Amino acid sequence: DQQVKQNSPSLSVQEGRISILNCDYTNSMFDYFLWYKKYPAEGPTFLISISSIKDKNEDGRFTVFLNKSAKHLSLHIVPSQPGDSAVYFCAASEAGTYKYIFGTGTRLKVLA
């Protein structure tokens, strides 16, 4: 039951360039989407979120884009820094529920 999919298990980007992480979903009832960052031996850390009534949300170097018709969201990190190297999880939730459905994660490596 892969309602949230991150098809790229890994991504390498040069420091200073843009990192684009992608996420696709199948459940049209999802109304809230989030990105979490996870370092080894730590819990997921909230990064940025977007409600389904918006198509873009920006917070500093991080921007999330939502394309509801394509059931696709992406996270842009500009400029990428070595400290951004981590596993990034996309998550979604449906109105009226409590749970987050997570994707499998994308390991981002930012090269100095």
Partner 1 sequence: EPEVTQTPSHQVTQMGQEVILRCVPISNHLYFYWYRQILGQKVEFLVSFYNNEISEKSEIFDDQFSVERPDGSNFTLKIRSTKLEDSAMYFCASSVDRGPYNEQFFGPGTRLTVL
Residues near partner 1, by CB under 8 A: 31-32, 34, 36, 41-46, 49, 51, 89, 91, 93, 95, 97-105
Q: Any idea what DSSP says for residue 29?
A: T
Residue 91 DSSP class: E
Of 77 and 92, the one with the shorter C-beta distance to partner 1 is 92
CB of 11 to partner 1, least distance (A): 17
Nearest approach in angstroms of CB 74 to partner 1 is: 19
**Looking at beta carbons only, is 4 or 80 nearer to partner 1?**
4
Please give the structure tokens belonging to residue 54.
């918006």
The amino acid that residue 15 corresponds to is: E
Torsion of CA 86, 13, 74, 76, to 10 degrees: 90
Residue 35 CB, shortest distance to partner 1, in Å, is 11
Give whichever of 57 and 74 is closer to partner 1, judged by the CB atom: 57
Residue 37 near residue 86, CB atoms below 8 Å: yes
